[in-house]
Amino acid sequence: MHFALNLWIRVGQVRQVFPTLLEPVDIPALYRSDDRPVPQDRPWILANMVTSVDGATAVDGLSGALGGEGDKAVFRAVRALADAIVVGAGTAVAENYGPPILTDELIAIRVANGQARLPRIVVVSNSLQAFFGPDSAAADGAPVQRLFHAEGFRPTVITSGRARADRIEALREVADVVTIGDDVVNLAAMFAQLRAEEVHTALVEGGPTFNGHLVAGDLVDEMALTFAPALVAGPSGRLAMGDAEAVRPMRLQRILEADDHLFLRYVRDRS
């Protein structure tokens, strides 16, 4: 079944420069057509991040300043193909996450492909502290982030046995809360549970610490990486950070270009 896509998704001058020259590019159709073989014990895990030329992932703590219209189009495209969007609690709070917003055309494509109208939002937090800071909770103890107060939308929160019982109880009023792991969330078990719930493609949106745990566990199958044409310096962290170092070879599959931004698709080389 074919659906015409809104022109704003095509973003004018986006072109493919590798492996072949192609323009114009239909970004949602291109990303949906990519091969993503689903492992038996977990979803295909796709990480989407933006970085400056000198490696900054945020400006003043937020990633939005680095992205242009092309980056927004890729962001929407990979969200539209995912069964679940997985994000660390710190990033969800800092970026003021809400329910995913898709056009009617993209929703129709999802439904035609047997997916839910919208991808799930899964927020990962070892202690739930991010939701209950001085500016994060109402007088009754309930979290105030807009993700938890959208009509008709209920996110999932994955936490560990370290989380306080009162925080779990408060969150259960506005989210599905699941405990997986003792002191920290067991990511392998979490993704196995998502796979059992028919999540075939999980989109990970950071932040860097969460990405670092995924790299350490060799859980990243694909990276959608945007290079923004800017030098930032400052204290911003890398795409993935953590105590454990690991070398995970990747293969470059595609390069798109628009307004000096580069959009790269890397796939984990498991050969």
Q: What is the pLDDT of residue 268?
A: 98
Encoding tokens for residue 260?
A: 């000096």
Answer yes or no: is 125 within a domain.
yes
**Which among 199, 258, 262, 260 is positioned nearest to 225, based on CA atoms?**
262
| 187 and 223 co-located in one domain | no
| 140 and 184 co-located in one domain | yes
| 179 and 144 co-located in one domain | yes
Judged against a pLDDT cut of 50, whether residue 7 lies above it is answered with no
| 211 and 158 co-located in one domain | no
| 191 and 232 co-located in one domain | no
Give the separation between CA 122 and CA 116, rounded to whole angstroms.
15
Instruction: List, for residues 75-101, the tens digit of each pLDDT value.
Output: 999 999 999 999 999 999 988 899 999
Examine the fold and report which residue of 176, 199, 222 is the final residue of a domain before the chain moves on: 199
Strands 15-18 and 250-258: antiparallel
| 122 and 192 co-located in one domain | yes
Q: Number of folded domains in the chain? A: 2
> Which residues, 6+ apart, have CB-to-CB distance to 130 below 8 Å?
89, 90, 92, 93, 136
Q: Which domain holds residue 141?
A: 113-199
Judged against a pLDDT cut of 60, whether residue 11 lies above it is answered with no
Q: What is the pLDDT of residue 263?
A: 96
Give the separation between CA 142 and CA 218, rounded to whole angstroms.
35
Q: What is the CATH number of the domain that holds 171?
A: 3.40.430.10
